Structure 1
Amino acid sequence: MLKGIPSIISPELMKILMEMGHGDEIVLADANFPSASHAQHHLIRCDGRGIPELLAAILKFFPLDTYVEHPVTLMDVVEGEQFQPTIWENYETFIQKEQAISLQMEYVDRFAFYERAKKAYAIVATGESAQYANIILKKGVLT
């Protein structure tokens, strides 16, 4: 046991976060995301957990890349759907609180998101049931 590490972060996830270098990306995938078929490097199971609580815990340790325009990427709503995911507001709140930065999130269509996920260092498969909850984080450097 270590002090100060939230129990939602498994030893395997902490190891992955520590292994990642500047510019590496991690996907926090919702329950509908094809995580197993897209994870080319590392797949971490975090079933039964939601992305907002996991994101809040990760951001305590994980610096976002401030050298790129969009260190956070979301899967955009399919064209023609009249739907605004409320979970995105939660993400923005956590990021501003933990990183003390204001940023513009990038929105990419589903298939572009899938291709980017294949290149990610790791995919974390969660039990998140909210629609369009998938998020990619690009790791930065400690300052």
Structure 2
Amino acid sequence: MLKSIDPLLNADVLYALRAMGHGDDVVLCDTNFPADSVARQTVLGRLLRIDNVTAARAARAVLSVMPLDAFVETPVLRMEIVGRPDEIPDVQREVQAEIDAAEGRSWPMGSIERFAFYERARKAYAVIATGERRFYGCFIFKKGVIAPD
């Protein structure tokens, strides 16, 4: 265990988040997402896991150490519901609340169509599978910067 580090952030996840650079993407996905096959095509090339937690809890852990990219309008994207792109299910509302809490302000997510999400996920730095069992618990987070002191 490490002080001041969320215990959900295992060594592999911490390594990937630290290795990512400004503008790199990390995917948080639910249990139905084709995580392993998509992760094999990412920069890291293997699947990372934060098991047995919701997408919101995994987002809280990631956002406790990773800044979001303030140079883009929507540094977090959510997977759209097929046929109902404007509908926002509870799982996505919960992740939005974690984003707002981490950033100290409202910063709405963008959305991306399901198959476009898969394509973008394949180009990400890494994929982190969570224990989220609700549908559409899939998100892409773009890493930002930490300003100098």
> Is the TM value for this pair above 0.5?
yes
Per-residue deviation, 1:82: 9.5
The residue identity in structure 1 corresponding to 2:38 is H
List per-residue Cα deviations over 1:78-105 (Å, max 9, x = no partner). Answer: 0158964111111111111111232231
Q: Report how far residue 47 of structure 1 moved.
A: 2.8
**Unaligned regions of 5+ residues in structure 1, if any?**
none
| Alignment equivalent of 2:71, drawn from 67, 74, 77 | 67
Deviates more, 1:51-60 or 1:131-140: 51-60
Q: TM-score, normalised by structure 1?
A: 0.93
The farther-off stretch of 132-141 and 35-44 is 35-44
Counterparts of 1:93-112 in structure 2, within 5 Å, are: 93-112=97-116
TM-score (norm 2): 0.89
**Which structure 2 segments of 5+ residues have no match?**
none
- From 71, 74, 81, give the equivalent of 1:77: 81
- Give identity over the alignment, percent: 41
Q: Secondary structure at the match of 2:47?
A: strand
Per-residue deviation, 1:5: 1.1
Query: Aligned residue for 2:61?
Result: 57
Distance 1:92 1:23, change over 3 A: same
RMSD of Structure 2 on Structure 1 (CA): 1.7
The code of the aligned residue for 2:20 comes to M
Aligned 8 A contact 1:31 1:127 in 2: yes
**Deviation by residue 1:94-123 (Cα, 9 ceiling, x = unmatched):** 111111232231111110000000000000
Task: Identify the residue that residue 17 of structure 1 maps to in structure 2.
Answer: 17
Q: How many residues align?
A: 143
